[in-house]
Amino acid sequence: MKTLPHPALEEIELARVLEALSDSTRLAVVAFLASDVVKGFEPRCSDFTTFGTKTNLTYHLAKLRDSGVTRTRLVGTSRYTSLRRDDLETRFPGLLDTLIAAAMAEPERAALVKRAEDEARALMGAAD
Query: How high does pLDDT run on average in the chain?
Result: 90
125 within a domain of the structure (yes/no): no
The count of domains in the chain is: 1
Residue at 104 is within a domain: yes
* 91 contact partners, CB below 8 Å, separation of at least 6: 9, 12, 14, 68
In tens, the pLDDT along 32-42 reads 999 988 777 77
Contacts of 50 (CB under 8 A, 6+ apart): 32, 112, 115, 116, 119
Half-sphere exposure of 19 (CA within 13 A, CB side): 11
Q: Contact at 8 Å (CB) between 95 and 88?
A: yes
CATH code for the domain of 64:
1.10.10.10
Choose between 83 and 3: higher pLDDT.
83
Domain that holds residue 47: 11-119
Most confident of 2-6, 46-50, 51-55: 51-55
Q: How confident is the model at residue 120 (pLDDT cuts 50, 70, 90)?
A: confident
Please state the pTM of the whole predicted model.
0.89
- Asked if the structure places residue 61 within a domain, the reply is yes
Quick check: is 93 in a domain?
Answer: yes
pLDDT at 15: 97
Render pLDDT for 4-24 as a digit per residue (tens, 0 to 9). Answer: 899 999 999 999 999 999 999
